[in-house]
């Protein structure tokens, strides 16, 4: 899926969150704008929370860093580098929270008909583990009409 032309694609984001003895799964299925430029992949999409709030998301994926910028109802920028911890402000339903993301794994799979990003990371607040995440982002071409 490598070219500099912007494409409208099918996006699936699957997440598993573990924390406080519980496991929660989530899935977003929507459309996304996708393009590559200077070796980076860009994915733009919107999501609506259960509370009805809409966030605009931008995923910027390079070989060594993944950034997720959320805007709408408070902005946040999460940065993931395998084997590194990054300070961040996470916008939760309760408001902004200062945390540290600790990235265990970043895996990128890019082929002509599929782009897949897998992230494994944990959030810490005040030095204590809040939750662990396994996130998979897939973009595929829309079916031919």
Q: Quick: pLDDT tens for 44-86.
A: 999 887 778 888 999 999 988 999 998 887 788 899 999 999 9
CATH of domain 7-141: 2.40.128.20
Are the C-beta atoms of residues 42 and 36 closer than 8 Å to each other? yes
Q: Give the pTM.
A: 0.86
59: Cβ contacts below 8 Å, ≥ 6 apart: 41, 42, 43, 44, 66, 67, 68, 117, 137
| pLDDT score recorded for residue 1 | 55
Give the separation between CA 90 and CA 88, rounded to whole angstroms. Answer: 6
Which tokens in the block code for residue 83? 């084997």
Q: Where are the domains of the chain?
A: 7-141
Per-residue pLDDT, averaged over 124-134, amounts to 93
Give the separation between CA 96 and CA 116, rounded to whole angstroms. Answer: 29
Per-residue pLDDT, averaged over 132-138, amounts to 96
| pLDDT score recorded for residue 52 | 82
Per-residue pLDDT, averaged over 24-34, amounts to 94
| pLDDT score recorded for residue 94 | 73
List, edge to edge, every strand of the sheet that includes 7-19.
Answer: 76-80, 66-71, 54-61, 40-48, 22-37, 7-19, 128-141, 115-125, 95-110, 85-92
Neighbours of 57 (CB within 10 A): 20
Per-residue pLDDT, averaged over 9-13, amounts to 95
137: Cβ contacts below 8 Å, ≥ 6 apart: 11, 12, 13, 43, 59, 116, 117, 118, 119
Quick: pLDDT tens for 78-121: 999 999 999 998 777 677 888 999 999 999 998 888 899 999 99
| pLDDT score recorded for residue 93 | 67
């Amino acid at each position: 899926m490598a070219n500099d032309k912007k494409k409208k694609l099918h996006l699936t984001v699957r997440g598993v969150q573990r924390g406080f003895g519980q496991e929660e799964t989530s899935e977003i299925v929507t459309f996304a704008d996708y393009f590559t430029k200077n070796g980076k992949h860009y994915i733009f999409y919107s999501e609506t929370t259960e509370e009805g709030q809409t966030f605009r998301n931008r995923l910027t994926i390079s070989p060594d860093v993944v950034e997720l910028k959320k805007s709408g109802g408070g902005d946040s920028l999460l940065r993931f580098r395998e084997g590194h911890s990054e300070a961040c402000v996470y916008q939760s339903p309760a408001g902004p929270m200062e945390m540290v993301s600790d990235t265990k794994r970043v895996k990128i799979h890019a082929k002509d008909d599929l782009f897949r990003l897998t992230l494994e990371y944990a959030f810490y607040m005040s030095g204590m583990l809040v939750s662990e995440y396994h996130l998979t982002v897939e973009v595929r071409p829309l079916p031919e009409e």
